[in-house]
A and B are shown apart, each in its own frame.
Chain A
Amino acid sequence: MQAAVVDKAVAAVAKPKDFDVPVLGDYLQVPSLAPGSMAHSKPFEAKPVHQEKLGFPGELIDNWQEVAVAKLGDLVKSSRGLQVYLDSCVKCGACTDKCHYFLGTADPKNMPVARQDLLRKVYRRYYTVAGKYLPKLVGAEDLTEEVLDDWYTYYHQCSQCRRCSVYCPYGIDTAEVSMAAREIMDTVGKGQKYCNEIIGKVHKLGNNLGLPEPALADTLEGLEEDVEEEIGIDVKFPLDVKGADVLLVTPSADFFAEPHIDGLIGYAKVFHQAGLSWTISSHASEAANFGLFIGSHDNMQKVALRIREAALELGVKRIVFGECGHAWRVGYSFLNTLAGPFDFLDSNYPVPQHIVEVTHDLLQQGRLTLDPEANDDKRVTFHDSCNVARASRMGSLPGGQFTLPRDVIKASCNHFFDMPANTIGEATFCCGGGGGLLTDDLVELRVKGAMPRMQALKEVNDRHQITHMAAICAICKSQFSKVFPYYGFQMDQIISVHQLVGDALVFNSDPGARRITQ
């Protein structure tokens, strides 16, 4: 989340990395295998201080093999999905050319089935009859140091985007396998620094940035001044307002990073114009939930419960999520299970709602007026974020997660063009930075993993001279600002969907907004 901020600082001091940026051709090609080509790519390991805050051992424990095998057994017993996925693969190869990291790196261990097999071969060895007695025949292997090393390397080259699960004839979801592997590694003391450090901050302060309440209040106040100066309207950014109707839970990158912050301004303008009373909570000042990425149900639940606590404390009636992909997965798919039931909220609205659903509803009811000509300088395409596309929904119909954002964008600008059909919707390519990989120690992976999306962007750009790509995910926005320049695009060509909305919004003199902050 914080990467966009940190990136700029680090980029100034870090040496340019020594790797070849993929060349974009006329169309996407499936590469020939280049074994071991990404074996060197590993994120920094978590330090004891990061590990212990999450309840994990500080460093690799002595009897790690034993503990890891036992943990694998526990996970298989507690997750139907994992068990079925480990048993059912027939090695048909349907997924082999579907992963953006494979397409961008050609490393065969980045083929989804090969990535799963790193865990599956250990499962077979210790938990199946065939693997116990005929390991060579069925490709079963002992859990050795090399295998653990491969786990750390390649389970941190999966962004858990679920593209492979769309194409698997049994719906095998590599994300589940990769989360299980990370959970096992955390359990034996081999965690990833980026994710675990951030989760520790959320437990302590409520957001990924480690931003305390006074700093947040200060930031929001500054935003109010900026917006008033720019458009001459007193748009509020309320914090911890008891009795507000709507609790906005948004990724903390929205408070600081570009282009995220223009999205936040967009939400505030929508709330203002619609006359909705709303607030941000300093206790749950983060939509992101990295507990998902490390496969830790406990940590994910602990983070999710902050939202429930904030909603109760502030006495709100609705919960709305800002633009963040995996946060929306946790919000839409898991929040009710992890932190529900939410029967204390207004039952006329789904819990939670996505900000795009809110804006879409308001547009349908005629409570907002947009002037798309305000964005006539832009020619826009839309990046479907992986978690929104394949792990959630918007609205009441399947596929609403594709149509609602496009409806909102088309209402906000006159020039909209989609990327090729096999790269959007349920077939969308991950930005290359999801799943807890948005860190500078993985820049090579992020650049190469972005290749399929960059290829699609190039194709729509060649035909329609695109000026901007809009997204509804904080990670996607940070990732694209970082990798666009590697492919000849400008970092500011990535924008928030609600920036388009905010810029097109027509303010009339009748906002019920007077009651916002009281």
Chain B
Amino acid sequence: MGVVASLVIYLAVAVFLIGVGRKVYRYASTPAPLKIPTTPAPVTRTGVVFRMAREVVFFESLFKASLWTWVFGWLFHAGLFLTLLTHLRYFTQPVWGWVAWLAPLGPYAGMAMVIGLAGLLVRRLCVDRVRYISAPSDYLMLVFLLLIAGSGLTMRFYFHIDIVALKQFALGLLSFDLQSLPGGFALWLHLFLVSVLLIIFPFSKLLHAPGLFFSPSRYQVDNPREKRHAGGSRRQSGGSGG
């Protein structure tokens, strides 16, 4: 079991890194022929860093758009972020101090994810406008993430697993010294779904994560009169859309 699981995880991580890497390369090397920031926009590079930070950390635009979507969306993403950090305890030996300090927050982060995802799912089902624009994959993605978060939480509260063995497995992955995977359906499901998620990441709307950083309406500096934006040919403007 340990070898099979390890290979699946390696495959998933490879597909994720190569797939997202290729997309990011493609985004970076595609020309941005014209200046199209949504204004009012910052007039300096520093200002853009702050604008982008507000988008990434607080979802500023979404907050302006729809309070409920913002509440659920932000809860989910903040929960996910915290969860990823707390998972570092499986991969660090000795566990980093701040990771250990965050650990007690793990279950709450997981619950925030579930609440957020459930809210988004209900909204997708009940608001006629959102239902109209939803494809099967949009529902599946939410169900998928709910199963990942749910299976993780059940291990915490009901189906306890052998944490020591799990950590050996995780550290084994990092050092290419494959270890056996402790038993438990919830754990297997959890790891399997996470692997599948990593694999579909580069081929799905999950690309919104790297996409935001390459969105000209957000990252461009509003200075077309002060500084000529050399557009047109691919060579000229590739990778220098600012």
Measured CB to CB, the nearest residue on chain B to A121 is B135
In the bound complex, what is the Cα–Cα distance between A167 and B26 (angstroms)? Answer: 26
Say whether, besides A80-B27, A113-B133, A401-B39, A336 and B217 are in contact (CB < 8 Å): no
In the bound complex, residues from chain B placing their C-beta under 8 Å from that of A84 are: 27, 211, 214-216
Contact of B40 among A89, A113, A139, A398 (CB under 8 A): A398
Say whether, besides A96-B129, A391-B36, A89 and B208 are in contact (CB < 8 Å): yes
Q: Which residues B114-148 have CB closer than 8 A to chain A? A: 120, 123-124, 127-130, 132-138, 140
A518 touches B (CB below 8 Å): no
In the bound complex, residues from chain A placing their C-beta under 8 Å from that of B216 are: 80-81, 84, 171
Contact of A138 among B55, B124, B135, B222 (CB under 8 A): B135
Q: Which residues A313-369 have CB closer than 8 A to chain B? A: 332-334, 336-337, 340-341, 350-352
B35 touches A (CB below 8 Å): yes
Stretch at the interface among B6-14, B65-73, B102-110, B188-196: B65-73
Cβ B39 vs Cβ A171 within 8 A: no
In the bound complex, residues from chain B placing their C-beta under 8 Å from that of A76 are: 30
B79 touches A (CB below 8 Å): no
Say whether, besides A137-B136, A169-B55, A336 and B40 are in contact (CB < 8 Å): no
In the bound complex, what is the Cα–Cα distance between A171 and B59 (angstroms)? Answer: 11
Cβ A166 vs Cβ B135 within 8 A: no
In the bound complex, what is the Cα–Cα distance between A113 and B27 (angstroms)? Answer: 21
CB distance from A353 to the nearest CB of B (A): 9
In the bound complex, what is the Cα–Cα distance between A129 and B216 (angstroms)? Answer: 25
Total chain B interface residues with beta-carbon distance under 8 A: 65
In the bound complex, what is the Cα–Cα distance between A108 and B136 (angstroms)? Answer: 18
Measured CB to CB, the nearest residue on chain A to B132 is A108
Q: Which residues A121-171 have CB closer than 8 A to chain B? A: 128-130, 136-139, 162, 165-171
Say whether, besides A91-B205, A111-B133, A138-B135, A85 and B215 are in contact (CB < 8 Å): yes
Stretch at the interface among B93-101, B158-166, B179-187, B227-235: B227-235
Contact of B39 among A139, A167, A389 (CB under 8 A): A389
Residues on B facing A (Cβ under 8 Å): 23, 26-27, 30-36, 38-43, 47, 55, 59, 61-62, 64-66, 69, 73, 120, 123-124, 127-130, 132-138, 140, 200, 203-205, 207-208, 211-212, 214-218, 222, 224-226, 228-232, 234, 241
Q: Please give 19 more A-B residue pairs, beta carbons under 8 A apart, in addition to A84-B214, A138-B204, A169-B62.
A: A30-B129, A80-B216, A84-B27, A87-B23, A87-B208, A89-B208, A90-B205, A91-B135, A92-B69, A93-B127, A94-B61, A94-B65, A137-B137, A170-B208, A171-B216, A337-B231, A393-B41, A396-B43, A398-B40
